[in-house]
Structure 1
Amino acid sequence: MTRAFLRPDDVRDLVAEQFGADRRPAALDRLTGGSKKGVYRLRLDDATSVILYVWATAENYWPPSPAVEDDPFTDASGAGLFAVNHAALTAAGVRVPRLLMLDRDGRHLGADLALVEDAGATTLEALMERDPAAADRPLSALGDALRRMHTTLGPSYGRLADLSGGRDRPRPAEDVVTDRALAHLAAVATRDARMGRAHDRVAAHVRRLRAEVAPRRRYGLVHGELGPDHVLVTPEGEPVLIDFEGLTYFDVEWEHAWLRMRFEDAYPALRPVDLDPHRLELYRYAQVLSLIEGPLRIAGTDFPGRDWMLELAEWNIAKALAVL
């Protein structure tokens, strides 16, 4: 499959409508990292820039994925989720790119799209690698933002857009994670011989972890897959959260299992809230299985980062088998 991405001429009318007939697109650069939507830096002829998000089939590399009942994390993408989650994070006092325009009617480009503030090209991940001392301030501010999110409580777990009708979910969140982990295991067992041979032992380990988790019904706002590559840092050192379409009310241990993995030695700088260690370990192992299933699935497409995805799957296969 050959994908045709947007060019400056494609957004000329959009620029004229949003910024005035005397403004022109000077460049349109598709940014790396966008696998479910197109993310473009739109540079205008007055040396300003904005970020363009495009939710279109041609921009989405992901094939269908295993889904279980009440799973709020599968296929979390779309302009509707973006709009609701943007408003929720703003209300919680969390810095996100300012929303300039949202089009859900396909008036431009025949797809849903949004224009947002260009908060810069420096990610927290790059800053941590290049200048760890300079990362101290945004890490601390990110920890503050996370505590605001994780203490913003909801009546049930699930995507914010799905909870507007007041629906409660009788199944415990830990059962959703367990079923999700077992579905991912079943999928990878058919793609990797080592996981196929270890299927029963891995499944038994997942169930043992689930058995250790005590009942609880308390759900905070979680990003879903927050790594330092999903945080931009402004020239003033302010952290800005991006890629938040997976925002959901859920157990905060889900977030912290991911944060521990992605931030590694810098994780304590986030000053996390109190966590249930048994719930945390179940969620950590479930995410390991997810990071085998997802990369192997997208590696079977035309995604340009195929080799990196295969390396990520290999790394997590080793982690999944090491505990047996």
Structure 2
Amino acid sequence: MPEAGRAHPHGYGTNEPDAARRSFLRAEDVRDLVADQFGSTRSLTALDRLTGGSKKGVYRIRLDDRTTVVLYVWAAAENFWPVSPTVPDDPFTDASGADLFAISHAALTATGVRVPRLLMLDRDGRYLPSDIALVEDVGDLTLEALLARDPVGAATPLSALGDSLRRMHTTLGSHYGKLATSTHGKASRTRPAEDVVADRALGHLDAVATRDARLADAHDRVATHVRQLRGAVTARRVYGLVHGELGPDHVFVTRDNEPALIDFEGLTYFDVEWEHAWLQMRFGDAYPALRPVDLDPRRLELYRYAQVLSLIEGPLRIAATDFPNRQWMLDLAEWNIAKALAPL
């Protein structure tokens, strides 16, 4: 059974028949980009589409001097996610796009968090009919792979990641929301964050109850459990900077043994318990090495259960599309259905 929330780094596989219905980049599509950015002394030798995610395309550009860079492409053909209903003020929706990438990249860099260096951002369609970014290639080694292969060797980047997370989680704001919202002066939030999470969870429950008979039968009991968890949370209006879905697959270990965060377009001010509910689930036994900030246990419990419901709704929704690794998503949903029913 897959780990909850796990995704491969950088993009998604294209070796299954369903993916062939989509149009992805070919080497000739980026030759002008390469010539313009790297000059006449370096040329393209290969364009590799990397595997794993589902919202943007990620490609490795190989040059004839054996250097590489990574290309991000925000195009409709690269996004497998269908639209779904949302609740007001949910900061975790639509967490993709070049604008969010640019703002989040700048914020993390200013906070001292290692991310791939930004080499070029094009939102004017100069090279492709979509927004693109060129970034440093931080390699292929994820913290997830290093933890599995060499837990002792992973201690240094894991500790450094904990330092980065504490810098993020102690970068505080009085309103929750995406950084783009805060930057444009639209951060007036009136509802408590825990109400947003509870409503989000109930919306996910309604959606999955139409797809799974077990959840349809348990709908009222699950809803009652969510409301009880929400009722135990006391008010608080201080928010930290959170990645949103940070797992060890979203952290690359550089040649200098530094942890570099990716897929951070969803960076937002929110309750840090949201981040730590995810970190606990994804890092497992390695989580204590991150040396987390102080947390509210009741808020953490609500957010942990809400994420379980999210990891049923999202996988079932994308499994109904032409996403190439459909069975993996179905297995992930099944894993979390058992977790959702267990407290009842």
TM-score bin (small chain): over 0.9
Q: Distance in 2 between matches of 1:196 and 1:232?
A: 40
Q: Which has the higher contact order (CA 8 A, sep 6+)?
A: 2
Q: Which amino acid is 1:132 matched to?
A: P
In the TM superposition, 1:176-215 aligns within 5 A as 176-215=196-235
Q: After TM superposition, give the deviation of residue 7 of structure 1 in Å.
A: 1.2
In the TM superposition, 1:2-81 aligns within 5 A as 2-81=21-100
Q: Distance in 1 between matches of 2:155 and 2:255?
A: 14
Q: Distance in 2 between matches of 1:200 and 1:191?
A: 16
Secondary structure in structure 1 of the residue aligned to 2:152: helix
Question: Given the alignment, which residue of 121, 124, 146 partners 2:143?
Answer: 124
**After the TM superposition, which segments of 4 or more aligned residues of structure 1 sit over 3 Å from their partners?**
none
For structure 1, the 5+ residue unaligned runs are none
Secondary structure in structure 1 of the residue aligned to 2:70: strand
Question: Given the alignment, which residue of 299, 322, 339 partners 1:279?
Answer: 299
1:162 is matched with 181
Q: After TM superposition, give the deviation of residue 22 of structure 1 in Å.
A: 3.3
Does the 8 Å contact 1:66/1:184 carry over to 2? Answer: no
2:153 is matched with 134
Q: Distance in 1 between matches of 2:100 and 2:82?
A: 19
Q: After TM superposition, give the deviation of residue 299 of structure 1 in Å.
A: 0.3
2:12 is matched with none
CA deviations on 1:131-169 (whole Å, 9 max, x unpaired) are: 111100000000000000000011200000011215320
Question: Given the alignment, which residue of 288, 304, 309 partners 2:324?
Answer: 304
Q: After TM superposition, give the deviation of residue 66 of structure 1 in Å.
A: 2.3
Q: Distance in 2 between matches of 1:108 and 1:200?
A: 52
CA deviations on 1:292-323 (whole Å, 9 max, x unpaired) are: 00000000111111111000000000000001
TM value normalised by structure 1: 0.99
Q: Distance in 1 between matches of 2:186 and 2:328?
A: 41
Q: Distance in 1 between matches of 2:68 and 2:191?
A: 46
CA deviations on 1:3-56 (whole Å, 9 max, x unpaired) are: 121111110000001010332211111111130000111111110000000000
Question: Given the alignment, which residue of 311, 314, 337 partners 1:291?
Answer: 311
Does the 8 Å contact 2:176/2:187 carry over to 1? Answer: no
Q: Distance in 1 between matches of 2:277 and 2:32?
A: 44
Does the 8 Å contact 1:155/1:168 carry over to 2? Answer: no
RMSD over equivalenced CA pairs, Å: 0.8
1:92 aligns with 2:111: yes
TM value normalised by structure 2: 0.93
Secondary structure in structure 2 of the residue aligned to 1:29: strand
Q: Which amino acid is 1:15 matched to?
A: V
CA deviations on 1:236-256 (whole Å, 9 max, x unpaired) are: 210000000010000000000
- Identity percentage of aligned residues: 77
Question: Given the alignment, which residue of 254, 263, 279 partners 1:234?
Answer: 254
Number of residues of Structure 1 aligned to a counterpart in Structure 2? 324
Secondary structure in structure 1 of the residue aligned to 2:154: helix
For structure 2, the 5+ residue unaligned runs are 1-17
2:237 is matched with 217
Does the 8 Å contact 1:178/1:206 carry over to 2? Answer: yes
1:316 aligns with 2:336: yes
